[in-house]
């Protein structure tokens, strides 16, 4: 069987070679840094989907002495027909020579059959010093493509394009940090055009990657559904001896259980974050996100949090849903906007917000103490009394998923999650909203979902993710 294509990613030091490798091999463990000389040795990074290796990228150190190398090549070549052999001879003769360690490292995969991806920084002006590098690469005779990766804000890509076009079969712009997924796929198809043997494997690679992306989205919806179910239905329990009952006030007990309930909810939310990140092969993200907090004894969320998730008193009042305006409408009617007109409603959030407006309802779970049995008494706290909690969890989870699913593996910046200050759920279809509301209500009452209810919730969440994706992409 033929080996999957290998591409050596080469260029000047510090121009984003490792960033290109990280993004295209979906590997966030690759060292990327501001200092030149970060990559010291060539290293292969295969991309494998469902156990099948689709292609390999080889990260390499940057050229250090390209002019000297070119001089040597010119001095040892008789005609153009021996160029590839002369490059090979250079590597063979200079293995172990400290002056040319980097050149030997970067040329070795190429003389062993890799295609060439030459990376330049389009945000700095073109300079002739690159010509020696490009000439050496041309001498290898391997299929080649140049990528203009822009590190800084300026754009000199036109000049680059003209110069690179003289040395490489294909020149493309590709921002390793920001390029959207579709751009990765089209780049792979372009590689396929460089060499007849690569066309079929790279066509297959693009198909498998597209399928993988859809599958990840489905799996992410399932993970969010599962977490939502657990968070909505979670009950903190404690068994007390008679002594403990006598020595603990109800208020203290409530406080203790509430604390533990909250800690556990936060942990569960964090484990969802990590599961989603791992699903997308992000293993080492530094994330910054406001913790789930509880404002006071009667309320899960501070006014600030409400504001962010579109359930603030102010938003609801300005949207014409002051308590007075509700009249006798029940929470369920509010949920689906059936009697109030959906357009102006805050999407799925309104169900939760509706009950919030009926301010006498306690949003937090309550402490409940069971009957005395065999000298023991059980105290429980939870599940949460209001579906508003579920909507906040859902909103946060979908937002996090969105950032992860659009994050390239070259990204090394902090992932700062800001609350989605927009009523994007308004765009969610009625059936999905109803499905979500129903599931949240079931969870808090019955505490588990049947397999088919879980599937329905997953489907509705997948829909919410699609709506959110659409909203983010269209908001510019």
From the list ligand GTP, Mg ion, none, partner contacted by residue 192 (C-beta under 5 to 8 A by kind): none
Q: How far is the CB of 228 from Mg ion (least distance, A)?
A: 41
Answer for the pair 365, 338: CB distance below 8 angstroms, yes or no.
Answer: no
Distances, alpha carbon 89 to alpha carbons 105, 114, 131, 197, 436, in Å: 14, 17, 21, 26, 67
Residues facing residue 236 across a β-bridge:
381
Nearer to ligand GTP, 64 or 378 (CB): 64
Answer for the pair 122, 173: CB distance below 8 angstroms, yes or no.
Answer: yes
Q: How far is the CB of 377 from ligand GTP (least distance, A)?
A: 59
Nearer to ligand GTP, 61 or 382 (CB): 61
Which residue stretch of 30-38, 43-51, 184-192, 326-334 sits at the interface with Mg ion (rule: CB under 5 A)?
30-38
CA distance linking residue 155 with residue 198, whole number of Å: 32
Measured on CA atoms in the order 50, 179, 423, 391, is the torsion positive or negative? positive
Nearer to ligand GTP, 153 or 327 (CB): 153
From the list Mg ion, ligand GTP, none, partner contacted by residue 69 (C-beta under 5 to 8 A by kind): none
Answer for the pair 336, 433: CB distance below 8 angstroms, yes or no.
Answer: yes
Task: Tokens 């484990």: give the residue.
Answer: 271
Q: How many CA atoms lie within 13 A of 395 on its CB side?
A: 29
Nearer to ligand GTP, 179 or 228 (CB): 179
From the list Mg ion, ligand GTP, none, partner contacted by residue 41 (C-beta under 5 to 8 A by kind): none
Q: How far is the CB of 159 from ligand GTP (least distance, A)?
A: 18
Nearer to ligand GTP, 105 or 399 (CB): 105
Q: How far is the CB of 279 from ligand GTP (least distance, A)?
A: 24
Q: How far is the CB of 325 from ligand GTP (least distance, A)?
A: 49
Phi-psi region of 51 (alpha: psi -120 to 50; beta: other; left: phi over 0): left
Nearer to Mg ion, 38 or 307 (CB): 38
Nearer to ligand GTP, 38 or 135 (CB): 38
Nearer to ligand GTP, 39 or 86 (CB): 39
Nearer to ligand GTP, 61 or 337 (CB): 61
From the list Mg ion, ligand GTP, none, partner contacted by residue 444 (C-beta under 5 to 8 A by kind): none
Nearer to ligand GTP, 177 or 352 (CB): 177
Which residue stretch of 34-42, 173-181, 204-212, 351-359 sits at the interface with Mg ion (rule: CB under 5 A)?
34-42
- Residue 37-76 contact track with Mg ion, rule CB under 5 A, x = bound: -xx-------------------------------------
How many CB atoms lie under 10 A from the CB of residue 332? 13
Number of residues that bind Mg ion (CB under 5 A): 4
Which residue stretch of 17-25, 88-96, 167-175, 270-278 sits at the interface with Mg ion (rule: CB under 5 A)?
17-25
Q: How far is the CB of 401 from ligand GTP (least distance, A)?
A: 23
Supply 257's token pair.
Answer: 């259980």
Q: How far is the CB of 410 from ligand GTP (least distance, A)?
A: 6
Torsion over CA of 213, 215, 219 and 224, rounded to 10 degrees?
Answer: 50
Q: How far is the CB of 416 from ligand GTP (least distance, A)?
A: 16
Q: Where on the chain is the footprint of ligand GTP (CB under 6 A)?
A: 13-19, 32-34, 36-39, 61-62, 149, 151, 175-177, 412
Q: How far is the CB of 179 from ligand GTP (least distance, A)?
A: 8
Q: How far is the CB of 20 from Mg ion (least distance, A)?
A: 9
Give all strands of the β-sheet with 236-241 in edge-to-edge order.
236-241, 376-381, 367-369
CA distance linking residue 60 with residue 104, whole number of Å: 10
Question: According to CB under 5 A, which one of 5, 12, 18, 24 is a site residue for Mg ion?
Answer: 18
Residues engaged in binding Mg ion (CB under 5 A): 17-18, 38-39
């Amino acid at each position: 069987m033929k080996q999957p294509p290998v591409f050596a990613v080469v260029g000047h030091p510090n121009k984003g070679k490792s960033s290109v490798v990280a993004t295209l091999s979906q590997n966030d463990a690759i060292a990327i840094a501001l200092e030149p000389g970060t990559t010291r040795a060539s290293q292969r990074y295969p991309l494998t989907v469902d156990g099948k290796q689709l292609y390999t990228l080889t990260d390499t150190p940057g050229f250090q002495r390209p002019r000297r190398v070119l001089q040597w090549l010119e001095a040892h070549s008789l005609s153009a027909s021996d160029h590839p052999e002369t490059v090979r001879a250079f590597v063979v003769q200079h293995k172990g020579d400290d002056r040319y360690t980097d050149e030997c490292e970067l040329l070795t995969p190429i003389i062993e059959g890799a295609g060439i991806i030459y990376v330049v920084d389009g945000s700095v002006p073109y300079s002739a010093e690159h010509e020696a590098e490009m000439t050496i690469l041309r001498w290898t005779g391997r299929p080649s493509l140049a990528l203009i990766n822009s590190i800084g804000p300026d754009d000199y890509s036109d000049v680059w394009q003209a110069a690179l076009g003289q040395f490489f079969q294909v020149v493309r712009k590709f921002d390793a940090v920001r390029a959207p997924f579709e751009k990765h796929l089209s780049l792979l198809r372009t590689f396929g055009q460089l060499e007849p043997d690569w066309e079929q494997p790279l066509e297959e690679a693009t198909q498998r990657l597209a399928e993988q992306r859809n599958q990840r989205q489905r799996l992410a919806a399932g993970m969010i559904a599962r977490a939502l179910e657990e968070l909505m239905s979670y009950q903190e329990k404690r068994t007390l001896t008679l002594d403990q009952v006598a020595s603990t006030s109800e208020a203290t007990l409530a406080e203790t259980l509430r604390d533990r309930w909250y800690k556990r909810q936060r942990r569960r939310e964090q484990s969802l974050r990590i599961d989603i990140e791992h699903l997308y092969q992000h293993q080492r993200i530094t994330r910054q996100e406001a913790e789930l907090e509880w404002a006071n004894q009667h309320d899960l969320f501070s006014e600030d949090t409400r504001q962010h998730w579109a359930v603030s008193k102010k938003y609801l009042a300005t949207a014409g849903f002051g308590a007075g305006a509700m009249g006798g409408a029940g929470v369920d009617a509010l949920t689906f906007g059936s009697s109030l007109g959906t357009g102006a409603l805050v999407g799925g959030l309104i169900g939760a917000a509706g009950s919030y407006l009926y301010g006498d309802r306690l949003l937090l779970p309550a402490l409940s103490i069971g009957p005395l049995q065999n000298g023991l008494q059980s105290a429980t706290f939870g599940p949460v009394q209001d579906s508003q909690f579920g909507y906040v969890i859902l909103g946060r989870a979908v937002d996090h998923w969105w950032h992860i699913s659009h994050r390239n593996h070259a990204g090394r910046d902090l992932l700062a999650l800001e609350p989605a200050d927009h009523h994007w759920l308004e765009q969610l279809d009625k059936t999905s909203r109803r499905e979500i509301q129903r599931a949240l209500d079931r969870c808090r009452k019955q505490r588990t979902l049947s397999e088919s209810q879980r599937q329905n919730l997953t489907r509705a969440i997948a829909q919410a993710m699609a709506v959110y994706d659409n909203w983010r992409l269209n908001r510019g």
